[in-house]
Amino acid sequence: MVSTAGYPLAYELFEGSKFEGHTMIPVIEAFKEKYQLEKLIVVADAGLMSAKNIKSLCEKNYEFILGARIKNETEQIKQTILSLKLNDEESNSIDKNDGQRLIVSYSTQRAKNDAYNRKRGLQKLEKALASRKLTKKHINNKGYNKYLKLDGEIRISIDYDKFQEDGKWDGLKGYLTNTGLTSKEVIENYKQLWFIEKTFRISKSDLRIRPIYHYRRKRIEAHVCIAFAACKLYKELERQLYKMEAKISPEEAINILKTIFSITITTPYSHTKHTRLLLKNREQIDLLKLFNVP
């Protein structure tokens, strides 16, 4: 769990066999109880949002902003969405049951990306079809396989009508909420999720939280705890560099720090030890000045 700007707040560990959709509510409950929070707003992407999770959030009176799967809505709502005719960066709100709202926004850039990804997916299917690698087992709703259909009993083909029909959804994005926030506030808060993606990237690559080469539970817990503490330090370094308007990234600052060494000298008469930093270039000196290190 992270706050706005991606500052690490808490984490929980689950067995590998635990379904991801069942992990969110226990984490939120434990965090709320630990810090005695009266109110918080849950922001999460569609991947964690099963109907059971949404029901649990409502039963526990949590406010939420969730990524919505607009293509899975009722036919009536889908027709309403497609009739909105939104311009770039415009949004509209559709009231649902139980005080929930479905906010739909449109982005020209997102539409370009959606169209590009659909075309690329279609080209992969056409290539696989030409090489005769597709069989009945590939006809499913996974990814772009949804464009496949069965002609007769044995012939696999591509449903180009379905491909063209999907183009109507290019650029549209849905958000489900039960808050009193404006549509703009809901969208802006949801956009903060990229911070948690960035925190995951930092944890995996820079801090090497994965892969984990441990098997005993205590060792796994210790490994993740160290990585979490390191992530907090990393984000604090990032915050301080930003506050000081430094022109270097946390990665660059860490790499410079790795090149700074110290030397300890003992005088022959008093046996007093003196420790000095060995600074070899300007970037090392400038970095220490930022943090007032003599």
Q: Tokens 């109110």 label which residue?
A: 39
Q: What percent of the chain has pLDDT over 70?
A: 99
**Total-model pTM:** 0.74
Q: Looking at the structure, do residues 90 and 121 belong to the same domain, yes or no? A: no
Q: Which two tokens stand for residue 226?
A: 């160290």
Look at 62-76, 84-98, 132-146 and tell me which has the smallest mean pLDDT. Answer: 132-146
Using CA atoms, how far apart are residues 205 and 218, in angstroms rounded to an integer? 23
Asked whether the predicted pLDDT for residue 256 surpasses 90, the reply is yes
List Cβ neighbours of 58 (8 Å cut-off, separation of 6 or more).
98, 178
Q: Looking at the DSSP assignment, which residues form a beta bridge with residue 156?
A: 150
Does 231 reside within a domain?
A: no
Confidence of residue 143 (pLDDT cuts 50, 70, 90): confident
- Tell me the average pLDDT across 105-129: 93
- Shortest CA distance to 254 belongs to which of 224, 222, 228, 291? 291
- Shortest CA distance to 172 belongs to which of 97, 65, 69? 69
Which secondary-structure segment (H or E) carries 226? helix 217-243
- Shortest CA distance to 67 belongs to which of 105, 26, 25? 105
Q: Looking at the structure, do residues 38 and 144 belong to the same domain, yes or no? A: no
pLDDT tens-digit map of 36-83: 988 888 898 877 777 888 888 888 889 999 999 899 899 999 999 999
Q: Which two tokens stand for residue 279?
A: 């600074």
**Domain finish residue from 191, 215, 239:** 215
Q: Looking at the structure, do residues 12 and 91 belong to the same domain, yes or no? A: yes
- Tell me the average pLDDT across 251-261: 94
Under DSSP, the state recorded for 204 is: I
Confidence of residue 161 (pLDDT cuts 50, 70, 90): very high
Does 180 reside within a domain?
A: yes
Identify the pLDDT of residue 268. 83
Q: Looking at the structure, do residues 156 and 204 belong to the same domain, yes or no? A: no
Does 280 reside within a domain?
A: yes
Does 77 reside within a domain?
A: yes
Q: Do residues 266 and 272 make contact, with C-beta atoms less than 8 angstroms apart? A: yes
Under DSSP, the state recorded for 157 is: E
Using CA atoms, how far apart are residues 217 and 222, in angstroms rounded to an integer? 9
Q: Looking at the structure, do residues 92 and 8 belong to the same domain, yes or no? A: yes
Asked whether the predicted pLDDT for residue 152 surpasses 70, the reply is no
Q: What is the DSSP string of 132-192?
A: T---GGG-SSSGGGGGEEEETTTEEEE-HHHHHHHGGGTTEEEEEE-SS--HHHHHHHHTT
The total number of structural domains in the chain stands at: 3
- Tell me the average pLDDT across 90-100: 90
pLDDT tens-digit map of 272-286: 888 999 999 999 999
Asked whether the predicted pLDDT for residue 108 surpasses 90, the reply is yes
User: Which residues form the domain of 152?
Assistant: 110-169
Does 239 reside within a domain?
A: no
Q: What percent of the chain has pLDDT over 90?
A: 48
**Domain finish residue from 184, 215, 246:** 215
pLDDT tens-digit map of 8-47: 888 888 888 888 778 888 888 888 889 898 888 889 887 7
**Domain finish residue from 215, 246, 281:** 215
